[in-house]
Chains A and B, each alone.
Chain A
Amino acid sequence: ETGVTQTPRHLVMGMTNKKSLKCEQHLGHNAMYWYKQSAKKPLELMFVYNFKEQTENNSVPSRFSPECPNSSHLFLHLHTLQPEDSALYLCASSHGLAGWVTQYFGPGTRLTVL
Chain B
Amino acid sequence: QKEVEQNSGPLSVPEGAIASLNCTYSDRGSQSFFWYRQYSGKSPELIMFIYSNGDKEDGRFTAQLNKASQYVSLLIRDSQPSDSATYLCAVQITNTGNQFYFGTGTSLTVIP
Binding site for B on A (CB under 8 A): 33, 40-45, 48, 50, 55-56, 58, 90, 97, 99-108
Contacts and interface: CB of A to CB of B under 8 A. Distances in A.
Interface of B: 4, 31-32, 34, 36, 42-46, 49, 51, 88, 90, 92, 94, 97-105
A54 B1 CA distance: 24
B8 to A, nearest CB: 8
B49 A102 contact: yes
Given A105-B43, A107-B42, A108-B43, A97 B100 contact: no
Q: Which 5 A-B pairs have the closest CB atoms?
A: A100-B32, A43-B102, A105-B43, A42-B102, A97-B98
Given A45-B99, A97-B98, A100-B49, A105 B32 contact: no
Contacts of B46: 102-104
Nearest to B96: A56
A106 to B, nearest CB: 6
Nearest to B34: A102
A101 B98 contact: yes
Given A43-B102, A100-B32, A105-B36, 12 more contacts: A42-B101, A42-B103, A43-B88, A45-B100, A58-B99, A100-B31, A100-B49, A101-B98, A101-B100, A102-B46, A103-B46, A105-B45
A43 B36 CA distance: 12
A109 to B, nearest CB: 11
A56 B103 CA distance: 20
A89 B51 CA distance: 28
Contacts of A44: 102
Contacts of B51: 100
